[in-house]
Amino acid sequence: GQNIDQPTEMTATEGAIVQINCTYQTSGFNGLFWYQQHAGEAPTFLSYNVLDGLEEKGRFSSFLSRSKGYSYLLLKELQMKDSASYLCAVLDFSGGYQKVTFGTGTKLQVIP
């Protein structure tokens, strides 16, 4: 089975930097996704990490440490439109097939 942990809620100020952490436990790790989901809308893809290290994509960066079972999403120069839930999802190979399991998500509120 899998266990994925993320903080439930976070608040940050416009223009600031925020780091959203995700820890996981799985036996057949094959990669980790981050998705953004605005309230009532579909999740949209942000990043995919399979190797250790930092992947930067504009204002958003994602980090992975496979040995620690840990990832974070870093959002810089926060904007009001970044208020959303951020979902960590782990790709796991077990039982002969690959499967993506989502965490419960972190609801980020950006305040002026």
Partner 1 sequence: DGGITQSPKYLFRKEGQNVTLSCEQNLNHDAMYWYRQDPGQGLRLIYYSQIVNDFQKGDIAEGYSVSREKKESFPLTVTSAQKNPTAFYLCASSIGTGSDTQYFGPGTRLTVL
Q: Which stretch binds partner 1 (CB under 8 A): 21-29, 52-60, 68-76, 86-94?
A: 86-94
Q: Which stretch binds partner 1 (CB under 8 A): 16-24, 62-70, 72-80, 92-100?
A: 92-100
Rounded CA-CA distance 108/64 in Å is: 20
Rounded CA-CA distance 32/88 in Å is: 7
Q: Which of 48, 60, 74, 76 binds partner 1 (CB under 8 A)?
A: 48
Amino acid at 91: L
Rounded CA-CA distance 86/56 in Å is: 17
Are 18 and 6 a contacting pair, CB within 8 Å?
no
User: Which CB atom, from 50 or from 54, has the smaller least distance to partner 1?
Assistant: 50
Residues of this chain that bind partner 1 (CB under 8 A): 4, 8, 30-31, 33, 40-45, 48, 50, 87, 89, 91, 93, 97-105
